[in-house]
Structure 1
């Protein structure tokens, strides 16, 4: 079974290789992601995030889900010395960097709870998979038609932060300016919550983010810095090293 929808501003594709696919579980995945977009998008004036940012509700009034997301955001802000920050001066509250991985991981957990054993859920290039092996390509940071690595994932997640899709969109919270020092960084972790948030936070830190991400428990790293130096951790589950 394969299904693709445009949700939260990017394509989300789901492939399930089980012999019997519970359609209700698949429907629940996309319904959940649509609901997350409605509740947490800073681009929707009626979302919970926008209402909090305008002061219409207080922190003691937000949902348990948003409280949990904001707690994760604070954990990454503290761990990066402020490089990762969802409350930048002059900008509205924007927790999207955590919401994406968190919500897609929750979607994967809905599938598992429904008994789905072998699936690959790809949200705008970030992947959570189960029942592998699954092969996940890592795009070359400067050549759109090439891969620089193919990873093999059995049960886990892969996320990449880079310049190639949206340009210099990740800001260093310590300076308020676009992050420099990295062309791309890919994180492999047990959950997409960890992989996606760590990739964004490390990119915001710049070159020092490579060592920081590598030190996080359960995270494997593949990075290309601004000088085109390639760094990868020993435990990275490499299937094919396409381009150095």
Structure 2
């Protein structure tokens, strides 16, 4: 599960895409902003990447991610979730996304048979709800929706190394392939594997880049073992959920993943 207290070193990197023969997109533009404590980058390919509608969609995507941070940050006392937990507001006063993320957190825990959870034990009292590990991927998918409405583009939206690759209107079947490099968890700076996508998501979990930040729900202990887990599939939120679950227990997660869905592929390094 991802925490966002500081800029995050990425374990997954967008490699210069190789256009397919006959592809019509030729230009490229990058946008980068610091949101949720991490660098979020957007790379767009289009015939004319300087178009005003592309810049507007990028601005809307980043604005969506800032809104997600406003609502769900666990490190800002003024976020809606923190104010809800403090009793300063009621559930009825909250944005509808709060209920959606809560339902998704419950669904993720059930799908992974508890290998992923948004509830963590405190020193005393009931478990504390913290959907951080799910919100990043979910929020990036909300942001990517703005880009999918733009005609004639291919894009790669990356948050701390977890990525959504997609296309705008009119690009199906002719979009370029994005080559995504997965960092070797035992050799920082080295690429251990690559994934090629025109549409989909890639998420990687591990301790090599950020230390022991993932908690085993069964023991309550942070995991510091070597290696990493990468999941590729159609939706970043679920890819991130499964990557986290697989880092907690690779064998159990793989078995559960195969039994639950055939849409996501797991790689363990």
Range into which the TM-score falls when normalised by the shorter chain:
0.7 to 0.9
Choose 158-167 or 177-186, whichever is displaced more: 177-186
Displaced runs of 4 or more, over 4 A: 58-61
Conserved in 2, the CA contact under 8 Å of 1:156 and 1:189? Answer: yes
1:35 to partner: Cα distance:
1.5
Q: Give the match's secondary structure for 1:177.
A: coil
Q: Which residue of 1 aligns with 2:201?
A: 157
Pairs within 5 Å for 1:164-183: 164-179=208-223, 183=227
Q: TM-score, normalised by structure 1?
A: 0.84
Give the whole-Å Cα distance in 2 for the aligned partners of 1:132 and 1:161: 26
Structure 1 residue runs without a partner (length 5+): 225-244
1:159 to partner: Cα distance:
0.5
Q: Give the match's secondary structure for 1:110.
A: helix
Structure 2 residue runs without a partner (length 5+): 1-28, 167-174
Q: Which residue of 2 aligns with 1:88?
A: 120
1:203 to partner: Cα distance:
2.0
Aligned with 2:151 (options 102, 115, 140)? 115
Q: Give the match's secondary structure for 2:129.
A: coil
Give the whole-Å Cα distance in 2 for the aligned partners of 1:65 and 1:12: 21
Aligned with 1:198 (options 242, 248, 269)? 242
Q: Give the match's secondary structure for 2:227.
A: strand
Q: Give the match's secondary structure for 1:118.
A: strand
Q: Which residue of 2 aligns with 1:77?
A: 109
Q: Which residue of 1 aligns with 2:20?
A: none
Q: TM-score, normalised by structure 2?
A: 0.77
User: Structure 1 residues 30, 118: closer, same or farther in 2, change over 3 A?
Assistant: same
Q: Which residue of 1 aligns with 2:142?
A: 106
Q: Which residue of 2 aligns with 1:19?
A: 47
User: Structure 1 residues 55, 204: closer, same or farther in 2, change over 3 A?
Assistant: farther
Give the whole-Å Cα distance in 2 for the aligned partners of 1:8 and 1:51: 17
How large is the RMSD of aligned CA atoms in angstroms?
A: 2.0
Deviation per CA, 1:11-33: give whole Å up to 9, x if none. Answer: 11111111233211111111111
- 1 or 2 for the larger relative contact order (CA 8 Å, sep ≥6)? 2
Conserved in 1, the CA contact under 8 Å of 2:116 and 2:241? Answer: no
User: Structure 1 residues 219, 181: closer, same or farther in 2, change over 3 A?
Assistant: farther
Computing the radius of gyration over CA atoms, which structure comes out larger, 1 or 2? 2
Choose 89-98 or 205-214, whichever is displaced more: 205-214
Conserved in 2, the CA contact under 8 Å of 1:163 and 1:169? Answer: yes
Aligned with 2:68 (options 36, 55, 64)? 36
Aligned with 1:124 (options 141, 160, 167)? 160
Conserved in 1, the CA contact under 8 Å of 2:211 and 2:224? Answer: no
